[in-house]
Amino acid sequence: VAQRFQPAERSEVIITRGLPDVVLPVRAGREMAAVISQVPVTAVADAVSDRLGAEVGEVIRLEVPDREAAKTLAVVGDLYNRLAEANLGRHDTVVAVGGGAVTDLGGFVAATWVRGVESVLVPTSVLGAVDAAIGGKTGINHAGKNLVGAFWHPSRVVVDLDVLEAAPLPLRLEGSAEIVKAGYIGDPEIVRLYRRHGGDTPLAEVVPRAVAVKVDVVRADFREGGGRAILNFGHTIGHGIETLSGMPHGFAVSIGMAAAGAVSAHRYGFDGGSLTELLFSLGLPVAAGGLSRQAVLDLIARDKKRTSAGVRMVLLRGVGDVVVDLVSPAELDLALAAVGIS
């Protein structure tokens, strides 16, 4: 049975097993759909394209380089050329099939081509399904990561649980860090499920819950006036660690959450120990020994979450009880020491 969420007016998330009977939202005047994908998800893009063939007059396929190599101005320019050749117009649809890199890119192209066309996103990674494809933030890397982009809600996000379950283990593991994050900031049941089932926790149970957490936050604060900041739990220090070590995003966020948990424990008596234990039990990293403390601090200071007043961190008083506040240099040291950076 499909589960549905609505992050915004005329934007819906459908979570199903297999593709929904009709992939594209009902819309007048559509003549064409352009499917953007990367090589590792060709089979999924084929299945989506087959289905679209029955729904729209013409389907064109656009393959882009894998991972972050897709999120460049050069690739965007190439896609614009292809859309121009194909004559993709106002009433047509851009469909992005793949991980967060493809849905960020496809969403951005849709937001900007002929001043904006409809997008449909089919996230194939767990992180994409619970995070990147949800919430209407699109973008590419230019002069820095995600510095060029647009807020543009997809008309529809299609999450196929079969695809997520079939994804390679490292991708599922990385995604589980973002699901745990969603649990700690907004849904204690996610935390209970992971405690009970560990690495065997069914994605079918936790993915819709994590999507619901993000949808709620985004509905309350689409353009990041403030509330959306709670989604950055684990990210202040996580980003620094990710940039410095080159480790996958989800793993760095896991370490970042352990660090933020330590500050939360110190300040509010939060049970940071059981957060770290849970992450560890899932096979996620909770320490980043060997990194230079000063280098991490420099990166945190440069991070966009820094205001002139200092470094802001997302902290927890309890599961689902979030505080965003400035932290002192001593608290930052404590956070880093908790994950082996001293």
Residues forming contacts to ligand NAD in the complex (CB under 6 A) are: 38, 40-41, 66-68, 71, 98-102, 104, 124-125, 127-128, 131-132, 135, 137, 146, 163, 167-168, 171, 249
Please, which residue, 12 or 160, has the CB nearer to ligand NAD? 160
Shortest spacing between CB 86 and ligand NAD, in angstroms: 23
Distances (CA, A) of 53 to 23, 63, 115, 256: 10, 18, 26, 44
Task: Count other C-beta atoms under 10 Å from residue 25's C-beta.
Answer: 16
Strand locations in the chain, DSSP E?
A: 3-8, 11-16, 32-37, 58-63, 93-98, 118-123, 137-140, 148-151, 156-160, 306-307, 310-318, 321-327
Specify the pairing of strand 3-8 against strand 93-98. Answer: unpaired
Q: Which is nearer to ligand NAD, 218 or 336 (CB)?
A: 218
Minimum CB–partner distance for residue 34 and ligand NAD (Å): 18
Q: Give the 3-state secondary structure of residue 305.
A: coil
**Residue 158 · residue 23 · CB < 8 Å:** yes
Query: C-beta of 303: minimal distance to ligand NAD in Å?
Result: 14
Dihedral sign (CA 214, 219, 220, 225):
positive
Shortest distance, position 163 Cβ to ligand NAD, whole Å: 5
CB of 146 to ligand NAD, least distance (A): 5
- 11 or 32: CB nearest ligand NAD: 11
d(CA 129, CA 147): 22
Q: Which is nearer to ligand NAD, 151 or 268 (CB)?
A: 151
Nearer to ligand NAD, 170 or 318 (CB): 170
Nearer to ligand NAD, 129 or 262 (CB): 129
Residue with tokens 């882009």: 64
Smallest separation (angstroms) from ligand NAD to the CB of 196: 26
* Comparison of 184 and 270: residue with beta carbon closer to ligand NAD: 184
Cα–Cα distance, 120 to 123 (Å, whole number):
10
Q: How far from chain centre, in Å, is Cα 153?
A: 14
Q: Min. distance of Cβ 308 from ligand NAD in angstroms?
A: 25
**In sequence order, what are the beta bridge partners of 13?**
5, 157
